[in-house]
Every structure is written in structure tokens, then in C-alpha cells.
Amino acid sequence: PTPFPAPRRMASGIDYNKLCLLIAVLEKRAGIILTNYDAYLNVAGGIKLDDPAADLAVALAVSSGLKDFVIDDDVVGEIGLAGEVRPVSDIERRIKEGARLGFRRFIISDKNKAVDVSSEVQVLRVKDLRAAIRAAGYARQK
């Protein structure tokens, strides 16, 4: 929580305006109220993140900080202003690379085409931001 009248937003490795936009969508479409909270986002490793497919991961990271749950999934999806999770290109390659890195659960848009992945990988398809937040881990709270 912030003690100040205006909450602080800070972004490193991702566009500041993108963070503000995703926070606005979280508030309006998912009911995650951040009006009285500071929000800090840092992309590790010094890289710059500009792929719209990272929108869902960023939104879930922000909501997990507030709701105190851990995201142990690979999350891929663009978020629209209406809170919908949009499909991303090359999803099968992204999932295969994530599996190679050790991820076993993937949250993607229900609009992405069918993917051919190994039986060791679970793919969760979601329609919108609320469903993605539920899938990411309220049941696995810290």
C-alpha cells in the first residue's frame, strides 16, 4: 500500500505506459484494485521486453503481488482493453521452448490454434484475464 495520494508506478525493462495500461485493464476488467498500491515491475537480466505476448505474464505478476500467490506456469498472451486474452503467433514453438526450459503448465488464449505438445505438458486455455488469474494460482497461494 502507498502512504501517498498518488500511487507510484515504476517499470524497468518494459514500457512504463504499457504497465499503466495493464494496471488499468486489471482494475476495470478483473476487479484487481490497485488504486491505493504502488506497483513496481522489473524484467530480470537487463533485457527490454516489447513482445505483446508478455502482456498476460506482466498482468499476472502484478496481480500475484497483490493477491500473494505464486505463478509457476509459463504464461503467453496479449491482453486487449476489454480484458480478453488474445492469441499470439508461433505458440507451438513458444510452448516447446518453455518445456525445454522446464515449464510444465502453460496458460494461453483459448483462441490460439491447437498445439501439438508432449503429454508431459499441460496447456490451459483461457478466455479472459479473470480466468487467467484463477488458472494461475489462487488455489496455490503461498
**What local confidence, expressed as pLDDT, does residue 30 receive?**
94
Q: Mind listing the pLDDT tens digit for each residue in 13-43?
A: 999 999 999 999 999 999 999 999 999 999 9
The string of pLDDT tens digits covering residues 80-126 is 999 999 999 999 999 999 999 999 899 999 999 888 888 889 999 99
Cα separation, 39 vs 21, whole angstroms: 12
The Cα 113–Cα 75 span in angstroms is 16
Global confidence as pTM: 0.89
CB-CB contact of 107 with 75 (8 Å):
yes
